Amino acid sequence: MILQIDIVVIQIIVILALSPLLSGIIKKIKAFFQIRKGPSILQPYYDLAKLLRKDSVVSENVSWIFHAAPIISFAAVLTAGLIIPIFISDMPLGFAGDLIAVVYLFALARFFTALASLDAGSSFGGMGGSREMFVASMVEPALMLSIFAIALNVGSTNLGYITQTVSNAGLSSVSPYHLLAFVAMFIIAIAETGRIPIDNPATHLELTMIHEAMILEYSGKQLAIMELGAMMKQLLVYALLANIFFPWGIAQIISTTGIAIALIVFIIKIVIMGTIMAIVETSTAKWRLFRLPDLLSISLMLSFLSLVSFIIVKGG
Partner 1 sequence: MYNILFPGIIFCFLIGAVFSILFNRNDRLANHISLLSASIASILGIIFSLSVVFGDSFSLSISGSSYLKFGFFVDRLSAFFILIISIAVFAVSIYSIGYIREYYGKKNIGYLGFLYNIFILSMILVVSANNAIMFLIVWELMSVVSYFLVIFEHEKAETRKAGFIYILMTHIGTGFILLSFLIMAGASGSYSFESFSAYGSTMPPFLKDITFLFTLIGFGTKAGIVPLHIWLPYAHPAAPGNVSALMSGVMIKTAIYMMIRVFFGFLGGGVIWWGFLVLAIGVISALLGIMYAVIESDIKRMLAFSSIENIGIILIGLGASLIFYASGNPGLSALAAIAAFYHLLNHSVFKGLLFMGAGSIIYSTHTKNIEQLGGLIKKMPVVSVLFLIGVLSISALPPFSGFVSEWLTLQALLMSFGSSDSFTRIVLPVSAAALALTGALAAFCFLKTFGMGFLALPRSEHAEHAKDPNMPMLLGMGIFALLSILLGILPVYVLPFIGMIASTFTGASVIDQPFSYGVFGTITLPANRIYLSTPVLFSIILILILITTGLYLGSRRKNKLYETWGCGQPVSTARNEYTATAFSKPVQIWFRNIYRPIRELHAAYTVSPLIKESFKFELKIEQTFERYLYSPMVDLILRISRQIKMIQTGSIHAYLSYIFGTLVILMMFIILGGS
Q: Is 158 in the site for partner 1 (CB under 8 A)?
A: yes
The distance between the two most distant Cα atoms of the chain, rounded to a whole number of Å, is 62
In the complex, minimum distance from the CB of residue 173 to partner 1, in angstroms, rounded to a whole number:
15
Contact pick of 43, 130, 167, 282 for partner 1 (by CB under 8 A)? 130
Phi-psi region of 11 (alpha: psi -120 to 50; beta: other; left: phi over 0): alpha
Residues that bind partner 1 (rule: CB under 8 A) add up to a total of 90
Contact pick of 16, 101, 276, 301 for partner 1 (by CB under 8 A)? 101
Q: Is 227 in the site for partner 1 (CB under 8 A)?
A: no
CA 312 to chain centre: 31
Q: Which residues inside 31-60 make contact with partner 1, applying CB under 8 A?
A: 52-60
Contact pick of 9, 49, 95, 313 for partner 1 (by CB under 8 A)? 95
Q: Which residues inside 258-297 make contact with partner 1, applying CB under 8 A?
A: 289-290, 293
- Choose one: 19-27, 141-149, 178-186, 245-253; the region binding partner 1 (CB under 8 A): 141-149
Distance CA 123, CA 153 (A): 45
Q: Is 69 in the site for partner 1 (CB under 8 A)?
A: no
CA 314 to chain centre: 31
CA-nearest of 130, 143, 136 to 107 is 136
In the complex, minimum distance from the CB of residue 279 to partner 1, in angstroms, rounded to a whole number:
29
CA-nearest of 257, 198, 58, 217 to 126 is 217
Quick check: helix, strand or coil at residue 149? helix
First to last CA, the chain: 36
Binding pattern for the stretch 75-94 against partner 1, x by CB under 8 A and - elsewhere: xx-xx--x----------xx
Phi-psi region of 249 (alpha: psi -120 to 50; beta: other; left: phi over 0): left
In the complex, minimum distance from the CB of residue 194 to partner 1, in angstroms, rounded to a whole number:
16
Contact pick of 37, 123, 204, 256 for partner 1 (by CB under 8 A)? 123
